[in-house]
A and B are shown apart, each in its own frame.
Chain A
């Protein structure tokens, strides 16, 4: 399993109904591309986060297919509509089968 993988998200804590909010997400991950070689000349096997999904109260905001060309510590910034109060769920899928999740609640008035 990849080491020190830790998600971070930035979501406003409140918004008005129907408002569009800006979201930033980052996960610490080496994103080994499969293109590099080690000191002995052997290819270092690919090991990346290959998919990222953000949902709000169960509905999809964004679903990203990620290739090795996304940088170390994958970063995404996007906007979401928030029709009511609820919870964002952010999920990252690792090549090694690990799934990382983070959540954030927002109060809509």
Chain B
């Protein structure tokens, strides 16, 4: 344990029972109907690196946690509602809406848990953002949305919301294996002037404080998340970019192959946790 960690823990001593301690009453039941798996056995590929996998929700304060129990209280649902309107709007030269092919957004239940996913026809790994843009450009005759645009974040939030409670289940073998391994290498690479890897914080120090903030295991099952810091939805790549920037490194571009590889690897660490998006974080 480093001096800094000890100091941080001493500060934490000001707090009551630590937020991440397992609590018999720890439960997240969204809208009184969707049970969220908060702790799950670590996937085999982690090879014991984590004793179990834990949702980031567990590390938040009770006030933040409560906002995710009911869609009325969850500000992220405002953006889901905006996406529902776009879902039914004809967007491109083909006069088609998302609903023209897919009926209700609820019919997309099961999509979010398996992304990013290998696209056989295109011969590439696709994030949800890439799949949405393929629909827009190839099927609807519309302009692609920016990876981090409001329309895109709203739509990924809608697709997440209809899969809430389903376990994350991304494939890591077959055609994606090389990409997954590259993502794993990135996860354990120390970046920036602070020489921090993803693992430095989210594997070795989850539950500890970084300044006054409890570190989580850094899973992506809650994305896109609604963050109080920006009072807006945040995409996975934006969060990755922010983490790497905070190590004082030159960061990777949103939508780059690098972050896509990292997205796949990090998603696979959370295989077994529930889709929670849009989760509420601070």
Contacts and interface: CB of A to CB of B under 8 A. Distances in A.
Nearest to A73: B75
Contacts of A73: 75, 78, 231
A48 to B, nearest CB: 13
A86 B78 CA distance: 27
Interface in B53-100: 72-73, 75, 78, 81-82
Interface residues of B, number: 7
Nearest to B78: A28
A97 B73 CA distance: 27
A10 interface: yes
B72 A26 contact: yes
Contacts of B81: 6
Contacts of A4: 82
Contacts, number: 21
Interface residues of A, number: 12
A96 B130 CA distance: 38
Interface of B: 72-73, 75, 78, 81-82, 231
Contacts of A30: 231
A71 B280 CA distance: 15
Given A26-B78, A73-B75, 4 more contacts: A4-B82, A6-B78, A8-B72, A28-B78
Q: Nearest 8 pairs between A and B by C-beta?
A: A72-B231, A28-B78, A73-B75, A10-B72, A24-B72, A4-B82, A73-B78, A26-B72
Interface of A: 4, 6, 8, 10, 24, 26, 28, 30, 71-73, 75
A28 B80 CA distance: 12
A73 B227 CA distance: 13
Contacts of A26: 72, 75, 78
A73 B75 CA distance: 7
Contacts of A75: 73
16 contacts: A4-B82, A6-B78, A6-B82, A8-B72, A8-B78, A10-B72, A24-B72, A24-B73, A26-B78, A28-B78, A30-B231, A71-B231, A72-B75, A72-B231, A73-B78, A75-B73
B132 to A, nearest CB: 19
Contacts of B82: 4, 6
A8 to B, nearest CB: 7
B78 to A, nearest CB: 5
Contacts of A24: 72-73
A39 B78 CA distance: 27
A58 B82 CA distance: 31
Nearest to A29: B78
Contacts of B73: 24, 75
A10 B73 CA distance: 10
A73 B81 CA distance: 14
A47 B33 CA distance: 37
Contacts of B78: 6, 8, 26, 28, 73
Nearest to B232: A72
Nearest to B82: A4
B84 to A, nearest CB: 11
A46 B271 CA distance: 44
